[in-house]
Amino acid sequence: MKNINYVLLSTFAAALGGLLFGFDSSVISGALQSIKPFFGLDEVGLGFSVSSAVAGCAIGAGSAGYLSDIIGRKKMLIITAVLFGVSSVGTAIPDSFAVFVFFRVLCGISIGAVSVLSPTYITEIAPADIRGRLVSLNQLMIVIGILVAYFSNYLIQGSGENDWRLMLGVGALPALLFFVALIFAPESPRWLMKKGMNAKALVILEKIGGKAHAKKEMEEIQNTVNEASLPLSYLFKGNMRKIFFLGLMLACLQQVTGINAVIYYAPVIFAKTGSDPFLQTVLVGLVNLTFTFLAIWLIDKVGRKPLMLYGAAGMGIFLLLLVTAFITNQLAGYFVLISILGYIASFAASLAPIMWVVVTEIFPNKMRGTAMSVAIAAHWSCTFLVTQTFPFILEQIGGEVAFGIFSALSFFTVFFVWKYIPETKGKSLEQIEVELGIR
């Protein structure tokens, strides 16, 4: 018998990291127009004010999983909560662009770390039959964080000459909430067993699902953690190499299809249409939230693979409509808004939550932290590439080229998922390992 309240509270504590992920990733969008003249930035400098954080994301993602394998998922999440608070205050106070960039990188390290740690923790604590929904809850919190950032920016903009300082500084409040919630969360039982602390793991597993559930889980987990502390080179050996490549590719495709170019630069894109960029950006956040709820409702019913296939196809189609708007110069009115909202809806109901679910599911217990670190570091490296180049392409080459590339990659994602990604719905992590041949 599952103790759903215990599971939900533990999941919620970790998923607050997703809230900060979303908030700190997108709050910069409202500050860009003020930061640009304050620091005297050109288009390249403006891109770097965004992408510097993304570079930090790659660092945080690349180290968090490995460190969490050593000291524990919970301790690393707590450290990340502290870094979120420091970076929020730090980006709000500088008069020097170099200092601003330093704290943006620190903010990125926090985002990158939590992007690995939160879904990994939730995956390792969640019962198999609701794991998809619980890991997707992390994505829901990311979306809520994005929406909160958009609303916050909308309310703060125009409040003073340097309103960007308040926009960035308010992130310290959810960081404090994240820190407090984590104090009461348990450690991952799978990590505890990996470290030989079986008695502590048993207590947590019994709280999650009762004695029968705990006994069954203990037996299955034990068979997959006997080869703990494997070297990084194990990722590139035998069947593990194929599985790691699939996770790596899926993590990268989620980003190179353009989502963060739209999220980060939404006000800049909407400004080109002559509309209210802040108000329309709030609409983007609302659509993102609505269709994330749809994904959470469907993921353990329909499965991971069908949602990704239909969602990636929808992304490609709506991006083609956006390309048409730029080619025909039909940027006024609602055509661009409808195209972007359709793209966001397709992404939110598919790749947005499901990439995090599938990647954590297909990596084995004995290498999950390390494999997640490498894959998500690559994910953030792709984000850096997109966010650094997008403003230049948009201004100097044209939106039809930028969104045309994203559309082509969306359709490639349809093929990749159809051909290579396995369905993992309703299976225990240990069962997935057996079916993939990596136990």
Residue in the block written with tokens 């080109």: 272
Cβ atoms of residues 404 and 317 within 8 Å = no
Confidence (pLDDT) at 230: 65
DSSP label at 72? -
Confidence (pLDDT) at 65: 82
Long-range interactions of 240-243: CB distance < 8 A, separation 24+: 240/364, 240/367, 240/438, 243/362, 243/363, 243/436, 243/438
Residue 295: closest CA among 183, 166, 159, 135: 135
Residue ranges of the chain whose pLDDT lies below 50: none
pTM of the model: 0.78
16 CB burial (10 A radius; 0-12, 13-18, 19+): buried
Cβ atoms of residues 161 and 169 within 8 Å = no
Confidence (pLDDT) at 41: 78
- Tally of residues, the chain: 439
Spatial distance between the Cα atoms of 22 and 18, rounded to a whole number of angstroms = 6
Confidence (pLDDT) at 187: 92
DSSP 76-127: HHHHHHHHHHHHHHHHHS-SSHHHHHHHHHHHHHHHHHHHHHHHHHHHHHS-
pLDDT in tens, 408-427: 999 999 999 999 998 888 77
* Identity of residue 138: N
Spatial distance between the Cα atoms of 136 and 18, rounded to a whole number of angstroms = 10
Cβ atoms of residues 278 and 33 within 8 Å = no
DSSP label at 421? P
Confidence (pLDDT) at 270: 67
Spatial distance between the Cα atoms of 189 and 410, rounded to a whole number of angstroms = 37
Residue 388: closest CA among 270, 255, 249, 281: 255
Confidence (pLDDT) at 343: 93
Residue in the block written with tokens 């598919």: 350
Task: For the beta carbon of residue 173, count every other beta carbon within 10 angstroms.
Answer: 12
Radius of gyration of the chain (CA): 21
Confidence (pLDDT) at 1: 52
Spatial distance between the Cα atoms of 351 and 355, rounded to a whole number of angstroms = 5
Q: Which architecture does CATH list for 4-185+230-436?
A: Up-down Bundle (1.20)
| Cβ-based neighbours of 313, under 8 Å, separated by 6 or more | 346, 410, 411, 414
Spatial distance between the Cα atoms of 320 and 99, rounded to a whole number of angstroms = 40
Cβ atoms of residues 281 and 437 within 8 Å = no
For 334-393, where are the E strands, in sequence order? none
Cβ atoms of residues 355 and 254 within 8 Å = yes
* Identity of residue 275: S
Residue 292: closest CA among 357, 236, 214: 357
DSSP label at 159? S
Residue 378: closest CA among 250, 252, 242: 252
H-helix or E-strand containing 420? Answer: helix 399-420
Q: At what angle do helices 351-362 and 429-436 cross, to 10 degrees?
A: 70
175, HSE (Cβ side, Cα atoms, 13 Å): 21
